[in-house]
Structure 1
């Protein structure tokens, strides 16, 4: 679509919405930026810059967007497609795109796109490092860091765009066509937004909907839901597996992470030599190796990257060791499955801080893992009651409910002994108390440093 002269409404004045609005205005579109937040709740300097570019701000309510007769609507991640302006645009057959869909139409670079319920950010960042270490000019962004639209047009065919894509972003794609798509796993998440697990899976599957036989789809062979998607793909499918030796794919064999393709087996690294630890990170590494290999990266270069990649903030991030107690920030554990993986990563006794805003999750399996692995549980936030009921059903009663996040950290400190781990892995979203999971993680780290000072 030629955007010059077109009327475009961008809904959501977050990072990606503002970036999309600026891009469109600079390409001659008549742009309206809409957000239910009022001007006082947004950054004034950013708003002033947008207005200088000729962008009209519609703040404080959604209003009659259809009355503007837009040619295109761009929705930010997390904006429900059921809100009246979006639903009305779709009824009128006005295209509704994510910022990622828009950006993909303006880039010449091949896209390597990662989705899945858990592990997206780590895997995206790891593939980014693999490609940079191998000498590629690499953009890493999408659902993390910088919006894709900010850099898409500058990237050339010899460069590469490594993108994290959420189900929200994929839901509103039309012509989006990665060279390599990765689906790491699928467990129930964002059910409150998608309406059902089937709706969530359908959104994830849009990542490969327009791929063809020249493209690749990398799937987790250990995950039932992702494995089932292979039959729907037109792209070539490559499986990875942590649990099984594959005839073809990326797996662990004879003590090595190996690439098995075209009748050859190429050893890359011993799993214990990978810098980031935990079984979930081995899965992330297997997937990333698959993407790097298909992009032409050598086994030697892959090994170097895996030995040095430090991981990402807020995912099993060590904070401090205070009096023999390790404090770990896993604020990115925003659903039960992510927090189960966090609990599996440590053999030590764990004091777990959990709770926040539920996404309509089932906490049954999480509660079973708590019963098996958690020395004491500190619950906080809106979902504390739901998690409490789930753990009580397992016969686990060593839990404590607190009112504030600060109380949770201090209570965990009081419960911990030398050799224990205090783990923040909430199994919930952060929006009941915080702006984002990053904000929650930063507050946790500040409180831990406060504990160290007061010690």
Structure 2
């Protein structure tokens, strides 16, 4: 039997190991950690005849015992594609691929919808899955959201999940670069702004990874309202290409396939009106773009316009993405914990009622903060900062000449009461958690940060 070495015992590694074992591979999992929780996971996998080696760092010596028998190494998204140890393994003739690649092979014959982009991909994934399910299609979502791709593939393989009509797969740049063979039936590109540059090095490299997925898609769907996608793909001409836009100009404006919003405020396919553009009850221009992208893909999947409209009207949104939490003292509060960079945080500021009391902070990331700082001047009446990046953000905000109060607190426990007090004093239009930072200084992920914020607001919100 072929031997596969899986690196990492997180969700992706666990899914890949189980899937490969179910497909008849001998599997060895190498994990650098050795905690009690990992020991429990390892014990369960050993009962399934999967070899687990804890305390094995990502160094060539950790692989030595299996190099003669192994045919491939499967990595989790968190491992850099150009890690020196992976390059050394390639030099020895081993295939290196990601967990998404393993799932692609296992789900052969089932059409994929691959969704990528700097911002918006999670909302589009949830929205499209909702639209397809509302139409009666079996269309589970996985990848960078929900199940790992391999976990989903294993359920299908074992028959514990019905064979899907479609797979709706959210794909990060990390997952795409480690699965170059994934060629979705439909590909969606939501946005492109600088992100993950500490991993990919340059914006051009990051863009090329995203574009690669769309080039392999049978029907690429592109957002013409995104400046970078429009600039770099506006002249891209290939069979099956679909553009969406909230405006009447831009690429492919005369195409009968183009999904846009007409002068009467209707979503249209070419000249054919489909349904009112206010069918999706979520605020912000970015959510209109998300709706158009999901609509274009659903039409390609043969869902009727009437079914799409009905599904949009009952979509309640995605947690941690401008999630309304109710009000405190009559002032609406929103959880936008998913806004882990300046561009995403700027979208949040444009989407809620000003003046805004803003909660921001966490682990800072590279990126252009200028548009975000400009919005602070026009939209925000006060800023409450928290977490490891509070000092760095305060320097940026004060250097930009922001005239309102800027306050620091160690964590959300202290920051939230301060923000609510400011909101009352300024008669703010809204309170917004939109951190512009990663969560890893104080939380395992942005979901945990958003959940904490929700609990704090639920304890004091209006009944």
Q: Taking structure 1 as the reference length, what is the TM-score of the superposition?
A: 0.92
Matching residue of 2:410: 403
Query: Hey, what's the Cα distance between the residues in 2 that align with 1:414 and 1:236?
Result: 53
Q: Note the C-alpha offset of 1:329.
A: 0.7
- CA gap of 1:359–1:311, structure 2 versus 1, over 3 A, is same
- The 5 A counterparts of 1:26-425 are 26-40=22-36, 42=37, 44-60=39-55, 61-63=57-59, 64-67=61-64, 68-69=66-67, 70-107=70-107, 108-152=109-153, 153-154=156-157, 159-211=165-217, 215-227=218-230, 228-229=232-233, 234-245=238-249, 246-248=253-255, 249-261=258-270, 265-397=271-403, 398-417=405-424, 418-425=427-434
- Taking the aligned partners of 1:12 and 1:371, their CA distance within structure 2 comes to 44
After superposition, the Cα gap between the structure-2 partners of 1:104 and 1:43, relative to the gap in structure 1 and judged at 3 Å, is: same
Determine the C-alpha separation between the residues in 2 that align with 1:235 and 1:47. 48
Runs of 4 or more above 6 Å deviation: 155-158
2:441 matches 1:432 = yes
SS of structure 1 residue aligned to 2:169: strand
Q: Residue 356 of structure 2 contacts residue 428 of structure 2 at CA under 8 Å; is this kept in 1?
A: no
Partner in structure 2 of residue 12 of structure 1? 8
Confirm or deny: 8 A CA contact 2:356 2:431 kept in the other structure: yes
Write the deviation string for residues 234-266 of structure 1: whole angstroms up to 9, x where unpaired: 5521111123353221111023343435xxx33
Alignment CA distance shift 1:84-1:51 (3 Å): farther
Equivalents in 2 of 1:401, 1:419: separation in Å? Answer: 19
| Between 343-352 and 52-61, the greater mean CA deviation after superposition | 52-61
In 2, the alpha carbon distance for the partners of 1:331 and 1:35 equals 30
- CA drift at 1:35: 2.7
Q: Quick check: 2:386–2:408 contact (8 Å CA) kept in 1?
A: yes
Q: How many pairs does the alignment contain? A: 443
Mapped partners of 1:36, 1:158: distance in 2: 35
Q: Deviations over 1:349-398 (max 9, x none)?
A: 21111111122222222111111111101112232233223222321042
- Map Cα deviations across residues 28-51 of structure 1 (whole Å, 9 max, x no partner): 2221222332233x3554332211
1:310-329 deviations in Å (ceiling 9; x for gaps): 11111111123122122211
Which SS does the other structure have where 1:138 is aligned?
coil
> Residues of 2 paired with 1:437 and 1:344: CA distance?
21
Task: Name the CA shift for 1:347/1:421 in 2 (closer, same or farther; >3 Å).
Answer: closer
For structure 2, the 5+ residue unaligned runs are none
Q: Find the aligned partners of 2:234 and 2:178 in 1 and give their Cα distance.
A: 22
Pick which of 74-83 and 110-119 moved more.
Answer: 74-83
Supply the distance in 1 between the matched residues of 2:319 and 2:306 (Cα, whole angstroms): 27
Change over 3 Å in CA distance of 1:422–1:37 after alignment to 2: farther
Which residue does the alignment assign to 1:441?
A: 450
> Are 1:23 and 2:32 counterparts?
no
Check conservation: 1:324, 1:420, Cα contact below 8 A: no
Shift of 1:220: 1.0
Alignment check: 8 A CA contact 1:368 1:391 kept? no
| Cα gap change, 1:442 to 1:194, in 2 (>3 Å) | same
Contact 1:66–1:85 (8 Å) recurs in 2: no
Q: Is the 8 A contact 1:259 1:290 kept in 2?
A: no
Q: In the aligned structure 1, how far is the partner of 2:461 from the partner of 2:279?
A: 32
Listed as ranges, the gaps of 5+ residues in structure 1 are none
Work out whether residues 326 and 419 of structure 1, in 8 Å CA contact, stay in contact via their aligned partners in 2: no
1:153-206 deviation per Cα after TM superposition (whole angstroms, max 9, x unaligned): 448887100110000000111311100101111000111111111121122122
Deviates more, 1:409-418 or 1:341-350: 409-418
Partner SS state of residue 371, structure 2: helix
Measured on the aligned residues, the alpha-carbon RMSD in Å equals 2.2
Deviating more after overlay: 25-34 vs 149-158: 149-158
